[in-house]
């Protein structure tokens, strides 16, 4: 097992959101490293639970969990997303649906929803705190 505490971020490819999210996650959840899985407009993808792309992302997340013992999965959407150009409200709904999708994977990690606003600041959409000891 790798040394250090890992989290896993499912994020858009857009580089503007990456550093704010990684910094926020490391500080808020006391993590050392954040593994990343990226696709353009990924909140739209994961909101669709049974798609092939979602299955591919699930497989990538599992590598982070198995190899690094990641204790947290974050799903993020952001302002001005070229891959998913919908309103903020639609993004928030997709992020909530994405949280439900990730819950259905039963990976026993914390699950955190993230919205990155027009100031490139992180907002917590919703989180489920699944105890690791259960
Ligand atoms: Zn984007």
Is 46 within the bounds of a domain?
Answer: no
CA of 84 to the centre of ligand 1 (A): 6
**DSSP for residue 121:** -
Residues 6+ apart with CB under 8 A from 126: 95, 96, 99, 113
CA of 14 to the centre of ligand 1 (A): 5
Distances (CA, A) of 37 to 14, 76, 108, 123, 131: 12, 11, 18, 20, 24
Supply the pLDDT for residue 128: 44
Is 53 within the bounds of a domain?
Answer: no
CA of 40 to the centre of ligand 1 (A): 5
Supply the pLDDT for residue 130: 46
Which strands, in side-by-side order, build the sheet including 110-116?
33-38, 6-11, 72-78, 110-116, 122-128
Is 27 within the bounds of a domain?
Answer: no
CA of 77 to the centre of ligand 1 (A): 7
Residues near ion ligand 1 (CB < 5 Å) are 12, 14, 81, 83
Is 5 within the bounds of a domain?
Answer: yes
Is 107 within the bounds of a domain?
Answer: yes
CB 109 within 8 A of CB 73: yes
H/E run at residue 91 = helix 88-104
Distance CA 21, CA 42 (A): 15
Is 99 within the bounds of a domain?
Answer: yes
Alpha helices in 4-87 (DSSP H): 15-29, 42-46, 52-68
* Structural domain total, the chain: 1
CA of 38 to the centre of ligand 1 (A): 10
CA of 85 to the centre of ligand 1 (A): 8
Mind listing the pLDDT tens digit of every residue in the chain (134 residues)? 678 999 999 999 999 999 999 999 999 999 999 999 999 999 999 999 999 999 999 999 999 999 999 999 999 999 999 999 999 999 999 999 999 999 999 999 999 999 999 999 999 997 444 444 43
- Domain hosting 105: range is 1-9+66-128
Supply the pLDDT for residue 1: 62
Is 23 within the bounds of a domain?
Answer: no
CA of 133 to the centre of ligand 1 (A): 35
CA of 2 to the centre of ligand 1 (A): 30
Is 61 within the bounds of a domain?
Answer: no
CA of 83 to the centre of ligand 1 (A): 5
């Amino acid at each position: 097992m790798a040394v250090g505490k890992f989290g896993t971020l499912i994020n858009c490819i857009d580089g503007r959101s990456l550093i704010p999210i990684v910094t926020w996650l490391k500080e808020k959840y006391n993590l050392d490293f954040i593994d990343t899985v990226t696709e353009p407009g990924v909140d739209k993808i994961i909101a669709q639970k049974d798609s092939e792309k979602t299955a591919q992302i699930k497989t990538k997340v599992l590598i982070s969990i198995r190899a690094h013992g990641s204790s947290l999965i974050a799903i993020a959407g952001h302002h001005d997303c070229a891959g998913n150009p919908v309103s903020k409200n639609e993004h928030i709904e997709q992020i909530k649906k994405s949280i439900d999708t990730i819950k259905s994977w039963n990976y026993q990690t914390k699950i955190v929803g993230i919205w990155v606003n027009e100031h490139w600041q992180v907002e917590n959409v919703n989180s489920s705190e699944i105890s690791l000891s259960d």
